[in-house]
Amino acid sequence: MEYQKKEIRIFQNGRTVNDQFYIDGDYNVPEAKRDVGKIILSNGMLRVEEMKQVESYLKVSGKLEFKVLYMADEMVPVPASLEGRIPFEEMIYLEQEPEGNLVLQTSDTEVTVTMIHSRKLNIKTLAEISIGTEKCTGEEITTDVEEKVPVFKKMKEEEILKVFATGKDTYRIKEEVTLSGTKEHIGTLLWTDVTGGKADTQLGTDELLISGELNMFCLYETAEGKTDWISRTVPYEGQIECMGVMPGMYHQSELHLTDINVEPRMDENGEMRILGIEATLQVRLIVYEEEKIQILEDLYMLDHICIPEVKEKRFFRLKLQNHSKCRISEELTLPELKEDILQICHCKGKIQMETVKAETDGVHIDGVLHLQFLYVREDDQTPFGVWNGMVPFSYLLENGGGEPDMEDMDCTVEQLSVNLMGSGEVEVKAVLAFNCFQKEPVQIQNIESAEFRPMDTEELESRPGIVGYFVQQGDTLWNLAKKYNTTVENIKEVNYMEKEGINKGDKILILSKIWVYCKNIVYKM
């Protein structure tokens, strides 16, 4: 007996381990940098350089890259900045041996910078690393069976989501921003902040189309020694080659912005009025396609006992792909800034989801938007200040019901603005994007193979050739045909049935298709 099988590639995420650890180190201000007078702003990010599994631990090492904006300790204080690195090494305990490829994720960290003295700083942060696993495997499913002798087969159609392709790639972003006529020439860059905003990916023919926006802020010192800034939304678009993909397929994409560099450039007049932005967009991509597959659900022979070998296998179907946006509009009263704030220069936000609960109408998300903005103060000695706070939000993500799969949902701050209203009040407007790709498990009792044993002759002789039967709850024509050594078509023909549906209490006549004659099994024609 020959079994026809089809391989289905499936993608699965494993368990995620979250690890927090402190990085604490002293940093000497380089000789080329001005003395530190007062810290204004700081941020940092983890750059992982090596991962190595050591028994039940994962050794992660790299550097904390940080930036500091400060007022120089001089007779006339002026803004200045510096950048540095502090090495780290962390041992992360793995409760079980990882299955599949390790996936590490880091995010921007809040860095606390404390002055020891004007030439030495203490850098401290609570870092967080997320370690997960992913794997793509092939599972075989039996679609048919071929045999020289008559075998009766029951087929079932299932729509299954299968992996077409997975991969990682990078897209280089190269854009330029030209200063408006009201801005003075760029002398020295003091502080730059480039974050990803709106982002969209679509499948084309043999390619992944990418479009998005960068939110760019740059604080700089002019050639005349003044301080100015520029804030822009910078669009970009491009494509990555993905052979074989087509519009209409489904996909999951994860975009991560790294290696950001901003530098001043000369315009056609030889003046520093252009900012060149370069960054690397790291892309993780999974492409799926849906396929309707005929599966061998059951089989039997009239003159043999069938003993199938069944193995339960888990596949997936697409439940929901949802791209939705949550809009936030909030007015905040900040009395502590009433007499201090003149103008808001720059703002940034980070989403923290606190509770995610599935209800019949969708997924209820409660969280906070961590908000930070840089503003101009009235104090000439310290012309800049920073405010940090939170804005709570609630959102209903419609998902068709069922439990949410957090591993298949990501959220980003697409747009953010903070506007000064006066009297210590500010207006916060934000657009939060939630992208949900939800799969639903499909459990299949797959027939791996089957053993057929000849039926006992005496048992066959003792079986009645004709049976009058009252239909019981749960009966089907297939089950009755298999039990009484006949076929569905025969039952329908004898009982003048046009359809296969039967109801509890129906009385039907069942004729066996085999009998014994001279101890030989004969098929009734």
Q: How far apart are CA 489 and CA 510, in angstroms?
A: 11
| Residue 154: band (very low, low, confident or very high) from pLDDT cuts 50, 70, 90 | very high
Mean pLDDT of the 3-26 span: 90
Residue whose tokens read 């982002």:
199
**pLDDT of residue 515 exceeding 60:** no
User: DSSP string covering 417-483, please?
Assistant: EEEEEETTEEEEEEEEEEEEEEEEEEEEEEEEEEEEEEPPHHHHHHS-SEEEEEPPTT--HHHHHHH
Mean pLDDT of the 1-22 span: 88
Q: Residues 73-129: pLDDT tens digits? A: 988 889 999 999 999 999 998 888 878 888 888 877 889 999 999 999 999 999 999
Q: Tokens for 120? A: 């030495």
| C-alpha 269, offset from chain centre | 46
Percent of the chain with pLDDT over 70: 95
Q: Residues 370-390: pLDDT tens digits? A: 999 999 998 888 899 999 999
Q: How far apart are CA 452 and CA 303, in angstroms?
A: 9
Mean pLDDT of the 433-445 span: 88
Q: How far apart are CA 140 and CA 296, in angstroms?
A: 12
User: DSSP string covering 166-216, please?
Assistant: EEEEEEEEEEEEEPPTTSPPEEEEEEEEEEEEEEEEEEETTEEEEEEEEEE
What pLDDT is attached to residue 315? 93
Q: Tokens for 191? A: 């502080």
Mean pLDDT of the 421-437 span: 90
Q: Residues 242-282: pLDDT tens digits? A: 999 999 999 999 999 999 999 999 999 999 999 999 999 99
Q: How far apart are CA 44 and CA 110, in angstroms?
A: 6
User: DSSP string covering 304-361, please?
Assistant: EEEEEEEEEEEEEEEEEEEEEEEEEEEEEE-GGGTTTEEEEEEEEEEEEEEEEEEETT
**pLDDT of residue 22 exceeding 90:** yes
Instruction: Region of 224 please: left (phi>0), alpha (psi -120 to 50) or beta.
Output: alpha
Mean pLDDT of the 488-507 span: 90
**pLDDT of residue 50 exceeding 50:** yes
**pLDDT of residue 524 exceeding 80:** no
**pLDDT of residue 239 exceeding 70:** yes
Which positions ≥6 away from 512 have C-beta within 8 Å? 463, 464, 465, 466, 467, 484, 485, 486, 524
**pLDDT of residue 523 exceeding 50:** no
Stronger pLDDT, 77 or 339, i.e. the higher one: 77
What pLDDT is attached to residue 403? 53
| Residue 402: band (very low, low, confident or very high) from pLDDT cuts 50, 70, 90 | low
| Residue 361: band (very low, low, confident or very high) from pLDDT cuts 50, 70, 90 | confident
* Pairing, β 425-454 against β 304-333: antiparallel
What pLDDT is attached to residue 111? 93
What pLDDT is attached to residue 380? 82
Q: How far apart are CA 373 and CA 338, in angstroms?
A: 15
- Give the chain's mean pLDDT: 89
Can you name the residues that pair with 119 across neighbouring β-strands?
none
Stronger pLDDT, 339 or 251, i.e. the higher one: 251
Q: How far apart are CA 157 and CA 270, in angstroms?
A: 69
Mean pLDDT of the 175-181 span: 93
Q: Residues 461-497: pLDDT tens digits? A: 777 778 889 999 989 999 999 988 899 999 999 998 9
CATH for 455-523 (3.10.350.10, 3.40.50.150, 3.40.120.10, 3.30.870.10): 3.10.350.10
**pLDDT of residue 148 exceeding 60:** yes
* Pairing, β 227-241 against β 207-222: antiparallel
| C-alpha 264, offset from chain centre | 35
Using CA atoms, how far residue 326 sits from 25, 323, 397, in Å, is 39, 10, 9
Least confident of 67-81, 386-400, 451-465: 451-465
Mean pLDDT of the 391-414 span: 74
Contact 426, 334 (CB under 8 A): yes
| Residue 401: band (very low, low, confident or very high) from pLDDT cuts 50, 70, 90 | low
pTM: 0.85
CA torsion angle for 213, 217, 221, 222 (degrees, to 10)?
40
Stronger pLDDT, 98 or 203, i.e. the higher one: 203
What pLDDT is attached to residue 399? 66
Mean pLDDT of the 213-217 span: 95
| Residue 400: band (very low, low, confident or very high) from pLDDT cuts 50, 70, 90 | low
Return the amino acid letter for 420. L
Q: Residues 309-323: pLDDT tens digits? A: 999 999 998 888 888
Q: Give the residue range(s) of CATH 3.10.350.10 domains in the chain.
A: 455-523
What pLDDT is attached to residue 437? 85
* C-beta contacts of 338-343 below 8 A and 24+ residues apart: 338/423, 338/424, 339/378, 340/377, 340/378, 340/379, 340/385, 341/375, 341/376, 341/377, 341/385, 341/420, 341/424, 342/375, 342/376, 342/377, 342/378, 343/375, 343/376, 343/420
